[in-house]
Structure 1
Amino acid sequence: MLRHKLIHPQITAIIAAAGHHSSILIADGNYPAASKRGPRAELVSLNLMPGVPTCNQVLEALLSAIPVEAIQTMQTETSGPYALDGDPPVWEDYRKTIKNEGLDLEIQPVDKWAFYDAVSTNDHVLTIQTADQQRYANILLTVGVRMD
């Protein structure tokens, strides 16, 4: 019986095999998960219907189960049809979830193309495709070290 919030058997098996510096992408519903992932990364599709589940819900489950040493998001565009003034609202949800899990980590925005490059490495072990419809909801976790 698991004691943390994450109970998905396939995701649990993948993260159990992951080690320090492995990366896990929680992808929103618009992310090209079939083509933008590492060569060894497994894809788990949780996208049930628009908005279910959200990236933040998956983040909460993962943070309950693994040590995380870095969190990156896709930097917002400043011009064009997807431009935003300031941070997307979902990032505040992430900050609350991170704080609620007792982590002292800051979200690190990364240029869109650098984000895709970070996801396309050999260290990328898992993409969890959600149905989150919020812009800039993609979030990349770097697995840390268990200290206890």
Structure 2
Amino acid sequence: MLRHKLIHPQINAVLAAAGHHSSVLIADGNYPAASKRGPQAELISLNLMPGVPTCNQVLEALLSAVPVEAIQTMQTETSGPYALDGDPPVWSDYRQTIKDAGLDVEIEPIDKWAFYDAVSTPDHVLTIQTGDQQRYANILLTIGVRMD
């Protein structure tokens, strides 16, 4: 019986096989998950309906299961149809979830195209597609080292 919050068997299997520097993408409902992922990354579709589950809910489950040493998000655009003034509201949720998990890790926004490049590496082992409809909700986790 598992003691952490994550109970999805396929996700647990991929995480158990992943190692230090492996990356896991929690993708929002608009992310092109079929084409923007690592060459051997598994794709697990949890997108049940718009908004369910959210990226933050998946983040909470993953942080209960694996050590994370880095977290990247897709930097917001400042012009065009997807532009935002300041951080997207979902990033505040992420910061609280990270804090609640007891991690001392900052969110690092990176350029959209650099984000796609980071996800397309051989180190990318898993994409979890959610139904989250919030802009800039994609979040890339780099697995750390278990210290206990």
**Cα distance in 1, alignment partners of residues 69 and 47 from structure 2:** 26
Shift of 1:137: 0.0
Shift of 1:129: 0.1
Which SS does the other structure have where 2:13 is aligned?
A: helix
Which SS does the other structure have where 1:40 is aligned?
A: coil
Tell me the equivalent position of 1:35. 35
Aligned residues: 148
Tell me the equivalent position of 1:63. 63
Tell me the equivalent position of 1:145. 145
Tell me the equivalent position of 1:134. 134
* 1:53 and 2:53 aligned: yes
How is 1:93-104 mapped onto 2 (pairs within 5 angstroms)? 93-104=93-104
Unaligned runs of 5+ in 2: none
**Cα distance in 2, alignment partners of residues 21 and 101 from structure 1:** 20
Unaligned runs of 5+ in 1: none
Which SS does the other structure have where 1:34 is aligned?
A: coil
Deviations 1:72-109 (A, max 9, x none): 00000000000000000000000000000000010000
Tell me the equivalent position of 2:116. 116
Shift of 1:116: 0.1
1:27 is aligned with what amino acid? A
Q: Give structure 1 regions of 4+ aligned residues with deviation exceeding 4 angstroms.
A: none
**Cα distance in 2, alignment partners of residues 99 and 84 from structure 1:** 24
Which SS does the other structure have where 1:7 is aligned?
A: coil
**Cα distance in 2, alignment partners of residues 104 and 18 from structure 1:** 22
Query: Matched residues, percent identical?
Result: 89
Tell me the equivalent position of 2:4. 4
Calculate the TM-score normalised by the size of structure 1.
Answer: 1.00
Shift of 1:35: 0.2
Calculate the TM-score normalised by the size of structure 2.
Answer: 1.00
Shift of 1:40: 0.6
